[in-house]
Copies of this chain bind each other. A is one copy, B any other.
């Protein structure tokens, strides 16, 4: 089963974390190639990334696509996420992991900006 893991920073503001959980729910509600979709946080709140991955594996994921829900390539995106990926690959060698570019670097972002600006 193909899984998507949306990773956000995590905030002290619970409403911000709730936004991410709601977003993951909304993504689950759309048709896609992903049989499993979860979210996880880098810091400050749970579920953390290792828990998110553990859940997906327990639910039967054979492939995990990681989407960094970040706009900027700060050290979290540049350092922490590749490190988490390395750890996950070592822990679950049978599972195929892939790390997408952070959302802000998406080729489609300029188009999305205009979609949001013209609603």
Contacts and interface: CB of A to CB of B under 8 A. Distances in A.
Number of copies: 2
Contacts of A103: 71, 112-113, 116
A105 B100 CA distance: 21
B108 A32 contact: no
A33 B118 CA distance: 8
A91 interface: no
B113 A108 contact: no
Interface in A45-96: 65, 67, 69-74
B74 A16 contact: yes
A26 to B, nearest CB: 4
Given A27-B110, A30-B111, 8 more contacts: A11-B74, A13-B72, A13-B74, A19-B104, A20-B72, A23-B109, A70-B71, A107-B119
17 contacts: A8-B71, A11-B74, A15-B73, A16-B74, A19-B73, A19-B104, A23-B113, A26-B110, A29-B110, A30-B110, A32-B114, A32-B118, A67-B113, A67-B117, A71-B103, A106-B119, A108-B115
